């Protein structure tokens, strides 16, 4: 009898059959009509077939592993809800870190989905098409699981009852929103450098350390779980980012200056975006995993530099902005938290003055700067609060035209001086937080003059609640803007001490340990 | 020589993967963090399917690791027997 043994396909063979062989050359349409976006950025690709996905993940395995991840995730989310998991967090102040995350990130995931879906269609070879399509589905999954996770918290805590509405309107949320919209309006190659390389590869580790490890450390099983589930896709995304950059650089030496310019731009854009993460790590996690500065040193200075050392063989240089970032690591989180503290009536989360222990921790982690520049500010805030004159900045801040962050950063070499840059375009003045944001603007002014800056929009009268009459004698502009954002001053924001969140958490936690 | 690294969720499967990594990479350094374990190795890291199978006592497909993976650093090269991370500096 003929016993034919059915040999299992090797990974490389399977990848060839189930990915590469899915493509075809068009016969009755011109290639440039099928892929119309590949030329205008100036990137030259000579042979799309030399691309290979190092994970060699085929669609059948993809679905199998993704289904497994979802099963694990939803089992834990159910358990979290059945056990009132939100009451196990270290301290209810922690929930405010989640408010920031859940207000900002689901919309980013959705935009990442849109960006990669577009690339899945427009990349010129089947290898990157399939990898981008997988990432597009991943990002949709991240968006959905995060939206599900919002309901673990917004049933109990204030400020995130209408995250999508706020994401499109609230001042600080325009920072992440405009970052991704900037990327999505780039050509396909710049998009993948922006998101796949600069954001996913160079910076993503700085995000998951505070969110995932930080959530675990602070007893938040729900967040740890969706964080890990999303993160498990990230290694594949990072690898795609790195492969794309190598591929572009290997295809044609003329690609180098274009790629370098994008790396410089998007490293800076990403680092500016992470200002808010710096603040969360140093101020919003009651149990600290590590300081922002430490995370920066491990994941950027050590790991990021290994990457740039590796890419040096293609002629890639470390972005110029790294010099400035090095100087800012001692200041960033403190400048951001003091800004949010002072802007308390205009946010969707609570702020607080760090406790004495926490101030000491900050002094120890930032020996060169904290006692000298920042501790006195918190002591001043505390004195004011004790006198019943809680410090609030009543003004709308000037925003950087590029990163959209309020002008809160100081000069790299003088932490007592706010940095301020200005360019003119078509007779109008534009303001920037730094040389690097200014430089980005000066390279593409036509793009960045279009920015929707929340403060400008408020001042132009475009952000008042429907039906309010700005010419009425008793018109209160700030109250009207809050209504437009769907926020209730004092309930959704302001001091954590004395808040409804604080009282509810204490009462509910009490109920879990007593019978009354 | 720069480090490559891999980080996994702390769980029952990762425990064997970490054991296999430590056996196959004598210069590996383990860094335990809340809910995650990070393995740093100078230059190159290799994970062998056979070693993992020996530790787990069952057949193992290296792509199963995707379920527990958190992050990595270095160039990836994978086939059915080996998963490799390296820098070319
Ligand atoms: Fe994502
Ligand atoms: Fe800026």
For the segment A421-437, the average pLDDT, to the nearest whole number, is 97
Nearest to A272 by CA among A403, A373, A156, A153: A403
- Residues A31-47: pLDDT tens digits? 999 999 999 999 999 99
CB within 8 Å of chain A, chain B residues 49-88: 63-64, 66-80, 87-88
How many H-runs (helices) and E-runs (strands) does chain B carry? 2, 7
Nearest to A106 by CA among A42, A180, A38, A23: A180
Q: How far, in Å, CA of A233 to CA of A109, rounded?
A: 12
Return the HEC string of A401-442: CCCCCECCCEECCEEEEECCEEEEECCEEEEECCHHHHHHHH
Is residue A262 over pLDDT 60? Answer: yes
Smallest CA–CA distance, residue B23 to chain A, in Å, is 23
Beta bridge partners of A425: A428
For the segment A81-101, the average pLDDT, to the nearest whole number, is 92
Smallest CA–CA distance, residue A310 to chain B, in Å, is 5
Smallest CA–CA distance, residue B10 to chain A, in Å, is 11
Structure tokens, B50: 């056979």
Is residue A151 over pLDDT 80? Answer: yes
**A379 pLDDT band (50/70/90 cuts)?**
very high
Note whether A493 and A487 are within 8 A (CB).
yes
- Residues A289-329: pLDDT tens digits? 899 999 999 888 888 888 899 999 999 999 999 999 999 99
First to last CA, chain A: 78
Q: How far, in Å, CA of A448 to CA of A402, rounded?
A: 6
For the segment B20-24, the average pLDDT, to the nearest whole number, is 96
Is residue A7 over pLDDT 70? Answer: no
Q: What is the pLDDT of residue A232?
A: 86
Q: Which residues on A lie below 8 Å from B88 (Cβ)?
A: 310, 313
Ligand 1 geometric centre to CA of A268 (Å): 20
CB neighbour class for A279 (10 Å; exposed up to 12, middle 13-18, buried from 19) = buried
- Provide the mean pLDDT of chain A: 93
Structure tokens, A116: 């990669």
Q: What is the pLDDT of residue A51?
A: 86
Note whether B31 and B38 are within 8 A (CB).
yes
Question: Long-range CB contacts (< 8 A, 24+ apart) of A287-293?
Answer: A287/A90, A287/A217, A287/A218, A288/A217, A288/A361, A289/A209, A289/A210, A289/A213, A289/A214, A289/A217, A289/B33, A289/B34, A290/A209, A291/A333, A291/A365, A291/A366, A292/A329, A292/A332, A292/A333, A293/A329, A293/A330, A293/A365, A293/A366
For residues A434-446, one letter each, b for 16 or more C-beta atoms within 10 angstroms of the residue's C-beta and e for the rest, the string is bebbbbbbeeebe
Q: What is the pLDDT of residue A6?
A: 58
**A422 pLDDT band (50/70/90 cuts)?**
very high
Q: Which residues on A lie below 8 Å from B17 (Cβ)?
A: none
Q: How far, in Å, CA of A256 to CA of A250, rounded?
A: 9
Ligand 2 geometric centre to CA of A218 (Å): 32
Q: What is the pLDDT of residue A4?
A: 55
In terms of DSSP bridges, do strands B44-48 and B36-42 run parallel, antiparallel, or are they unpaired?
unpaired
Using the beta-carbon criterion (under 8 Å), do B75 and A289 form an inter-chain contact?
Answer: no
Is residue A194 over pLDDT 80? Answer: yes
Is residue A5 over pLDDT 60? Answer: no
Q: Which domain holds residue B20?
A: 3-86
**pTM, 2 dp:** 0.93
Domains detected in chain A: 48-348 (1.10.620.20)
CB within 8 Å of chain B, chain A residues 234-273: 234-236, 238-239, 242
**A56 pLDDT band (50/70/90 cuts)?**
confident
Q: How far, in Å, CA of A511 to CA of B18, rounded?
A: 41
**ipTM of this complex > 0.95?**
no
DSSP state, residue A94: G
For the segment A492-501, the average pLDDT, to the nearest whole number, is 96
Is residue B50 over pLDDT 70? Answer: yes
B11 lies within 8 A of chain A by CB? no
Domain count, chain B: 1
In terms of DSSP bridges, do strands A350-351 and A494-495 run parallel, antiparallel, or are they unpaired?
parallel
Ligand 2 geometric centre to CA of A439 (Å): 10
Q: For residue B69, what is the domain's CATH number?
A: 3.90.56.10
Nearest to B75 by CA among B39, B36, B46, B54: B46
């Amino acid at each position: 009898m003929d016993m034919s043994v059915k040999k299992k396909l090797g990974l490389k063979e399977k990848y060839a059959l189930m990915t590469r062989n899915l493509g075809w050359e068009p016969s009755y349409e011109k290639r440039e009509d099928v892929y119309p976006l590949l030329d205008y950025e100036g990137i030259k690709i000579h042979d799309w077939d030399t691309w290979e996905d190092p994970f060699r993940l085929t669609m059948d395995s993809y679905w199998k592993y993704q289904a497994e991840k979802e099963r694990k995730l939803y089992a834990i989310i159910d358990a979290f809800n059945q056990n009132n998991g939100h009451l196990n967090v270290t301290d209810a102040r922690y929930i405010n870190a989640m408010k920031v995350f859940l207000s900002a990130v689901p919309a980013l995931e959705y935009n990442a989905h849109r960006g990669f879906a577009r690339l899945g269609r427009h990349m010129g070879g089947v290898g990157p098409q399939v990898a981008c399509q997988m990432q597009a589905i991943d990002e949709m999954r991240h968006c959905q699981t995060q939206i599900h996770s919002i309901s673990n918290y917004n049933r109990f805590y204030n400020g995130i009852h209408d995250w999508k509405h706020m994401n499109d309107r609230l001042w600080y949320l325009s920072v992440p929103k405009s970052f991704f919209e900037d990327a999505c309006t780039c050509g396909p190659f710049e998009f993948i450098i922006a998101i796949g390389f600069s954001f996913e590869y160079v910076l993503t580790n700085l995000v998951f350390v505070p969110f995932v490890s930080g959530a675990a450390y602070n007893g938040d099983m729900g967040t740890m779980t969706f964080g890990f589930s999303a993160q498990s896709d990230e290694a594949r995304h990072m690898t795609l980012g790195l492969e794309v950059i190598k591929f572009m650089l290997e295809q044609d030496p003329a690609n180098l200056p274009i790629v370098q310019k994008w790396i410089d731009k998007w490293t800076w854009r990403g680092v500016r975006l992470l200002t808010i993460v710096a603040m969360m790590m140093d101020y919003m996690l009651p149990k600290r995993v590590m300081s922002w500065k430490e995370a920066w040193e491990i994941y950027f200075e050590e790991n990021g530099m290994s990457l740039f050392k590796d890419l040096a063989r293609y002629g890639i240089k470390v972005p110029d902005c790294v010099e400035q970032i090095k100087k800012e690591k001692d200041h960033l989180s403190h400048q951001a938290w003091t800004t949010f503290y002072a802007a308390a009536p205009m946010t969707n989360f609570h702020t607080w003055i760090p406790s004495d222990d926490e101030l000491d921790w900050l002094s120890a982690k930032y020996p060169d700067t904290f006692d000298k520049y920042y501790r006195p500010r918190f002591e001043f805030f505390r004195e004011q609060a004790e006198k019943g004159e809680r410090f609030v900045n009543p003004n709308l801040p000037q925003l950087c035209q590029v990163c959209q962050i309020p002008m809160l950063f100081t000069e790299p070499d003088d932490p007592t001086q706010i940095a301020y840059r200005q360019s003119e375009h078509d007779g109008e003045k534009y303001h920037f937080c730094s040389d690097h944001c200014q430089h980005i603007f000066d390279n593409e002014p036509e793009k960045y003059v279009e920015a929707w800056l929340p403060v400008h929009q408020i001042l132009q009268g475009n952000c008042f609640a429907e039906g309010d009459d700005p010419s009425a004698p008793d018109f209160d502009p700030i109250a009207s803007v809050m209504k437009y954002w769907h926020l209730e001053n004092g309930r959704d924001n302001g001091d954590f001490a004395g808040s409804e969140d604080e009282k509810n958490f204490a009462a509910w936690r009490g109920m879990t340990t007593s019978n009354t | 020589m720069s480090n490559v690294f891999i980080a996994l969720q702390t769980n029952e499967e990762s425990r064997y993967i970490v054991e296999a990594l430590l056996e196959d990479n004598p210069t590996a350094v383990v860094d335990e963090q809340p809910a995650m374990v990070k393995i740093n190795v100078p230059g190159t890291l290799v994970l062998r399917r056979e070693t993992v199978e020996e530790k787990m006592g069952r057949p193992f497909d290296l792509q199963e690791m995707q379920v527990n993976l958190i992050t990595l650093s270095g160039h990836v090269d994978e086939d059915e027997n080996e998963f490799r991370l390296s820098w070319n500096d």
